[in-house]
Structures are given as structure tokens and as C-alpha cells.
A = this chain, B = another copy of it.
């Protein structure tokens, strides 16, 4: 375990002072060009590396930001993260990625951990709809030392910025599209509507029905997790109804996939008998062998970039008057085979 070389080492070697070395390393113009060059050279030669920890301790900035997501193995979240990285990396920030696996207690711990390692900010998509009940989160909220930005799965909390898509519109457009296909008994695979995104998709769905004179039927709404198995289970329930639906709008691509599997295995045709629309534009929706899946694109890359920008604004905003920003991006319906009854001209 060799020790790392510090500015003192190189100061000593050069008969200088640590302060001078520090300044030279930072290209301070007050230092003569000669010594600057000299210092830089010997620093290189001695394999000097700045100790960011000391720097952080001194400056109070770690140049690390934490990103908390439910999972990283979905294209949506990994794309958002990529967007965040793209925006933050050039500014010298590093991204610490944490996944909660949708468990509230892990989310709590991660929040605490990130605060402990002195991240300069936290960008998160919540896993707990009742986040305010968290001790760690509340502490974070109260002292307002660490900027916080929600993306996608946000919570409407005063003073906290967020970047989302217009989930209401996403749900509305998806449902309207199904209506346009001639469907009039449209089921909805929802998810926990304590989360705004799922509530809004649901509300968009309801509104589209209402705007088109279709009566809302609560029995057609099934709460489903974002995974294949749950999609299957939900589809089974729907198929077993006396009057099964002629369309399904799922708030998750994964659940939509499961539903499609279950429906097909029951010998029912998609889209002829039942149309299906998902949500998120996961890559597999495009790669289906038979029935590519209609879905709603959430522009995750842009979402990530925007969230990062909002963070950058907040962190550079020194005055006390914090401006909360709630950016809403517009989703886009992508029509594919799973809902296209009528061949296109």
C-alpha cells in the first residue's frame, strides 16, 4: 500500500510551498509561468492525483449526484440515466446510480446513504407513493441542503422540481386511438394509482371514454405491477369475464406483453379480437415477431437531460429564492400491429 503523492510531496521536492503548488496546479495566473510548468511536470512525474475527498471537504461540494430509480434493467430508466449522464458528465459531475427494486425501505436507505456521502443533489423516480412518511426523506426535505429533482414517478411536493411527461395525454391518446379502431369495451391495466403517473394515465383513459360517450366500467380496470407475470394474470381475469373487453390499454409495456401472451395462448387474435396498447416504448415492443406492440414513447433521454438541467440550475442558484420548476414533456403514441385493425392505405 504505497501512499499517494500529495501537493506537500511535490512542494518539498521543489522547495516550494503547498499553497504555491496548489495554485500552480489550478493554473493560477499569479504564479510565474516557469514554476507553473515546473510544478505541472513534476506532478506528472510523481504521479500526482488530486484528492477529491479533501477538495470536497474543503469546498463542500462532492461533484457527485445520486440517481435513485426502481430498477435499472428497463430501457426507460437506463435511458433516462444515460440522458442525465450526458448532461452532467461534461460539467464534471459523477452519477451514483441506486436501484430500489421497488422496495420502500431500500429507497429510504439509499436516500440516507447518498446524503451521507455528500452528493450535491439527488435525482429520483420514487418507489414509495407515501415518501413523505420517510424519516430520511423528510430530513432531506427539511434542511434543503441537497437539491432534489423528481423525474417520471414524481410526487407533488411544494418546492421540489420535477420532469415528467404528460401522462394524462398519454393515457388519453392511447385510449382515443383504441376507440378510433372501433373498440368500445376497453380495459385498463393500471398500476398503483397512489403514484401520479399511473393515476394520470388512468384519468386520461377515463376522460377519453367519457369524451366519446362510452360509459366507464370499473370492473375493466385491473391493478397490475409492471411485469410480464402480472400482465398475464390480469389478462386471464379479463378473458374470464362474461363479456371480455375488445381492447386493453396497459400502463406498462411489460404487463402488455404478458397480456398478449395470455391472450394468444387462449387462441384469441390480436388485434382482430382484442387490441392492445402498452406504455413506454421498451425495445421489445418493436421486436415482437408477430405482433409489434403499440405503445407510448416517453422520451426518456430527453427526460434525463432535462432533469439534469433542472438540477444544474438549482445547484448554481445561490440566492435563497428557490424557483421550483415542473417540466412536462409531451408523450407520443406509436401505433403498431397490436392495435391496428384496419390496414393502412
Q: Which of A49-73 contact B (CB under 8 A)?
A: 49-54, 56-57, 62, 64, 71-73
A79 within 8 A of B: yes
- A118 CA to B62 CA in the complex, in Å? 12
CB-defined contacts of A64 to chain B, threshold 8 Å: 96, 117
- Min distance, Cβ A322 to any Cβ of chain B, angstroms: 10
A76, closest chain B residue (CB): B73
CB-defined contacts of A56 to chain B, threshold 8 Å: 53
The verdict on A52 contacting B290 (CB below 8 Å), with A73-B75, A78-B73 known, is: no
A113 within 8 A of B: yes
- Judge whether A116 and B78 touch: CB under 8 Å: no
A2 within 8 A of B: yes
- Min distance, Cβ A90 to any Cβ of chain B, angstroms: 11
CB-defined contacts of A257 to chain B, threshold 8 Å: 287
The verdict on A261 contacting B290 (CB below 8 Å), with A64-B117, A78-B72, A94-B96 known, is: no
Given contacts A73-B74, A289-B289, 9 further A-B contacts (CB under 8 A): A2-B144, A4-B145, A49-B139, A52-B116, A53-B117, A72-B97, A85-B99, A96-B96, A290-B290
User: What are the 10 tightest A-B residue pairs by CB atom distance, in nearest-first order?
Assistant: A73-B78, A97-B97, A52-B116, A289-B289, A53-B57, A96-B96, A72-B78, A72-B72, A289-B290, A53-B56
